[in-house]
Amino acid sequence: MTITAKDVMTLRQATGVGMMDAKKALEANNGDMEAATQWLRVQGLASAAKRADREAGEGAVAVVRDGNTAAIVELRCETDFVAKSEQFTTLVDEIAARVCAEGEGAVSQFQEQIETMLTTLKENISIGRVYRLVAGEGEVVDTYIHQQSGRGVNAVAVVLKGGNDELAHELAVHIAFAKPLYLNREDVPAEEVEAERQTVTEISLNEGKPEAALPKIIEGRLNGWFKERVLNEQAYVKDEKMSVAQFLGSATISSYAQVVIGK
């Protein structure tokens, strides 16, 4: 009996197993869907479906830099016990290196390994966030990673124009600590800004502020809100008297990426 891709997909959806396991089960049972499902249960593989519904709030992150390119890859799981294992951290390092060399699409090459690990470790394991940054002419790229119990938990990559490697690294360290959400004020979604404006307006009114002073008070509070979220406007962690933009001088941030496990 010919086993089609649709048959494999149907069995995968019904049992939660990986593509290779679904194909193997169908081949072992002459394409009989019911028999293949039972075969997977006997092999202890069909329980992966239940694991797929469990939250993968733990994991590890790896960052790789090679020349003008840097990549960040997050591998998610359920427990820190698995996240700290050598098998897990080695895999995320390998994926990051491949993404750095070949592009974000390279993660698909590791699907079979992930599915095998899912089965052996009995946890919901999946690829999380993936970033690849490339520095162009006149730009440099650098990275930073914070490790905890042998695994990466906070990774940063940044591309800087008009600066050097040392400045880019200092910026990456700042990002790791300050966790900005946006590069520039203009990047903040208008609906978020409007929601915050309404909130600070209500707060100011409830405090009984003079009506004539309200516009200035509201804008001041909004500016403080932006400074918490916008990288260029944040106070530089090593000298809070200056903003990040002031610290960089004539250099400018082209792009950045950050992955923090659990966030």
Using CA atoms, how far apart are residues 253 and 200, in angstroms rounded to an integer? 30
Is there a single domain that holds both residue 73 and residue 119? yes
Cα 213 to chain centroid distance, Å, stands at 42
Is there a single domain that holds both residue 39 and residue 107? no
Pairing of strands 139-148, 126-134: unpaired
**Other residues' Cβ atoms within 10 Å of the Cβ of residue 204:** 19
CATH of residue 72's domain is 3.30.479.20
Cβ 213 vs Cβ 225: under 8 Å: no
| Structural domain contains residue 105 | yes
Is there a single domain that holds both residue 39 and residue 135? no
Residue 262 — pLDDT band, cuts 50, 70, 90?
confident
Is there a single domain that holds both residue 223 and residue 198? yes
| Structural domain contains residue 237 | no
Query: pLDDT digits over 115-124, tens only?
Result: 888 877 878 8
Domain count, the chain: 3
Query: pLDDT digits over 150-199, tens only?
Result: 999 999 999 999 999 999 999 999 999 999 999 999 999 999 999 999 98
Using CA atoms, how far apart are residues 60 and 78, in angstroms rounded to an integer? 11
| pTM as predicted | 0.77
What's the domain range around 20? 5-52
